[in-house]
Structure 1
């Protein structure tokens, strides 16, 4: 099962297909990573809080 590389939460294969770069088989952040965002090839804290 795919999981988020940042927090380890389960993500669906469909979510990975939509949000992961083509060469990856998992995502860098997921909806459970509330204060994190993708930034280029990495992950960083969001500048503003998600509501």
Structure 2
């Protein structure tokens, strides 16, 4: 099962398909960011990584 690369929490395969970047990294999940802002948090974390 995939996990968030930021906090290590497990996420579903479906969540990973939707929110992973082109390299397959998950930089945000419901456990470490607000549900409404997951995509924005992931974009910001990508820029700083």
TM-score (norm 2): 0.64
Cα distance in 2 between the residues matched to 1:42 and 1:7: 17
Please give the root-mean-square deviation of Cα atoms over the aligned residues, in Å. Answer: 2.4
Structure showing the higher strand proportion among its residues: 1
Count of residues paired in the alignment: 42
Structure showing the higher helix proportion among its residues: 2
Q: Which runs of 5+ in 1 are unaligned?
A: 44-51
Q: Which runs of 5+ in 2 are unaligned?
A: none
Cα distance in 1 between the residues matched to 2:4 and 2:47: 13
